[in-house]
């Protein structure tokens, strides 16, 4: 697919921090805050000379590697818990730490980016597996400058999926035959939204918008679209990796599946980013392997690249993910901008003749209904009963993500996908000026995302279709 929308320079997007402070909405009990001044310290002191802290003070790490703050935390239940560290970093450099739980490594390198001033407090969120009862969580500075000023640790009571959410019902997904199946081995259809590029529109992915997506729209899945080039991951791997970590946690809290999108586009050969992908997915899979809601999308839209090169890329990267997470489903973009090769003058036969040598994977297909009529629809129709397929991106407009909506042909696609139990995420969850962005321009500056008054016509249309969910069979 010709994708001019990716190449247009965007302006007006707010600058985004490496981490976002987002409030949980689905915990079954209130999170518990542990003040750092009450923790066990090594190579650090309690101070109160910078305003804005909670409790009676904060911990100032000494400027050495190896200093730590150790919190004694009580967990009501065993399992994965969200850990939110409130901190300030008034320097000009990241101050990383390692996190251990009961002496075992939980996070080997957790970044604490600069906050601009010692009186500016922000939150970094990660997760760890806790045992029921008492746990020792130690946060150790790994750099010569020590850690950040540590104000507190807030622990979510547990991340057992809420019963009536998509994740709570379906649990760990897997590929069965050519379908995506739930923990009961029943085919299901997930419906949701894709973010726009995080480097441009992270301001559209925040507490109020995610609450609206999960609760007002009733979405099952959030596609976290992290560009590699075009001002994305390549420019600051630590920043964008941490953003993805946080969005995974926020999707988890709301009972949605988190689709981690390695949004390579230019250059079209995913092998150009193979080393970067190995680094990124190793960390993502290692940290979130105990969650049941993670899906890995390892190549967004390969283009002007033969299927053999994409297959080779996948067969090198999938084992890297499997070494950390043996159960997560992996999605792979197909050639021709995820068109089964149609936009490159090829066809699905390339894939059928040489499928990827891996299990628990699905092949992705993208369409823009105003541009992609019978040739694309017929290729999809010919293929879905032969290999597992997921629609990780589509729009009701042209392939530029703009222009007039073709709701009639869009509905033809969606009716077909519903009949085949093929999941999808729509492009895109932002207030970009183009018609394919669901929110009216300027919406993301505020906190009102529910209802239809803030939506463009495409937003009204897609919200209505997300609100009529799959039945999620359990028996």
Q: Which residues are catalytic?
A: 301, 393
Torsions phi, psi for 139 (to 5 deg): -115, 110
Are residues 43 and 147 in contact, defined by beta-carbon separation less than 8 angstroms? no
Q: How many CB atoms lie within 10 A of CB 305?
A: 19
- Rounded Cα distance between 114 and 180, Å, is 41
- Rounded Cα distance between 421 and 471, Å, is 11
For 100-133, letters b (16+ CB in 10 Å) and e give bbeeeebbeebbbbbbeebeebbbbbbbbbbeee
The distance of Cα 49 from the centroid of its chain, to the nearest Å, equals 37
- Rounded Cα distance between 249 and 330, Å, is 19
- Rounded Cα distance between 124 and 153, Å, is 10
- Rounded Cα distance between 84 and 112, Å, is 12
DSSP track, 406-422? -HHHHHHHHHHHHHHT-
Nearest to 179 by CA among 473, 340, 388, 474: 388
Strand locations in 131-239 (E): 133-141, 149-155, 174-176, 179-181, 191-194, 221-227
Burial (CB < 10 A; 0-12, 13-18, 19+), residue 353, is exposed
- Rounded Cα distance between 121 and 118, Å, is 7
């Amino acid at each position: 697919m010709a994708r001019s929308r990716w190449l247009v320079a965007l302006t007006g997007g707010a600058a985004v921090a490496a981490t976002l402070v987002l409030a949980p909405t689905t915990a079954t009990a209130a999170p518990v805050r542990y003040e750092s001044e009450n923790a066990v310290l090594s190579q650090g002191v309690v101070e109160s000379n910078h305003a804005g802290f909670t409790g009676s003070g904060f911990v100032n790490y000494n400027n050495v590697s190896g200093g730590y703050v150790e919190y004694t935390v009580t967990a009501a239940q065993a399992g994965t818990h969200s850990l939110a560290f409130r901190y300030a970093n008034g320097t000009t450099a990241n101050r990383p730490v390692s996190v251990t739980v009961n002496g075992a490594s939980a996070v080997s390198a957790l970044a604490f980016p600069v906050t601009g001033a010692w009186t500016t407090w922000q939150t970094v969120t990660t997760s760890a597996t806790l045992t029921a009862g008492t746990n020792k969580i130690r946060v150790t500075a790994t750099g010569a400058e020590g850690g950040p000023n540590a104000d507190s640790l807030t622990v979510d009571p547990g991340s057992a999926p809420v019963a009536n959410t998509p994740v709570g019902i379906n649990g760990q997904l897997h590929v069965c035959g050519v379908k995506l199946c739930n923990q009961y081995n029943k085919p299901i259809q997930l419906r949701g939204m894709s973010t726009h590029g995080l480097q441009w529109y992270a301001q559209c992915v925040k507490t109020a918008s995610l609450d609206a997506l999960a609760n007002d729209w009733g979405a099952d899945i959030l596609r976290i679209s992290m560009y590699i080039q075009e001002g994305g991951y390549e420019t600051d791997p630590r920043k964008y990796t941490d953003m993805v970590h946080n969005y995974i946690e926020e999707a988890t809290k709301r009972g949605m599946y988190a689709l981690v999108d390695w949004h390579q586009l230019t250059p079209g050969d995913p092998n150009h980013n193979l080393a970067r992908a190995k680094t990124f997915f190793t960390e993502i899979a290692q940290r979130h392997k105990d969650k049941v809601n993670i899906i890995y999308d390892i190549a967004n839209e390969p283009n002007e690249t033969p299927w053999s090169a994409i297959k080779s890329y996948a067969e090198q990267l999938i084992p890297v993910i499997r070494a950390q997470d043996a159960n997560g489903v992996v999605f792979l973009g197909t050639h021709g901008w995820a068109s089964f090769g149609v936009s490159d003058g090829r066809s699905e036969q390339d894939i059928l003749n040489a499928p990827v040598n891996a299990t628990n994977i699905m092949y992705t297909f993208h369409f823009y209904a105003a541009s992609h009529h019978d040739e694309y629809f017929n290729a999809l129709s010919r293929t879905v009963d032969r290999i597992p397929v997921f629609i990780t991106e589509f729009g009701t407009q042209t392939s530029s993500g703009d222009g007039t909506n073709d709701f009639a042909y869009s509905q033809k696609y969606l009716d077909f996908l519903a009949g085949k139990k093929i999941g999808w995420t729509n492009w895109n969850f932002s207030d970009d000026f183009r018609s394919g962005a669901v929110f009216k321009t300027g919406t993301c500056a505020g906190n009102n995302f529910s209802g239809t008054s803030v939506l463009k016509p495409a937003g009204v249309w897609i919200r209505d279709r997300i609100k009529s969910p799959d039945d999620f069979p359990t028996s």
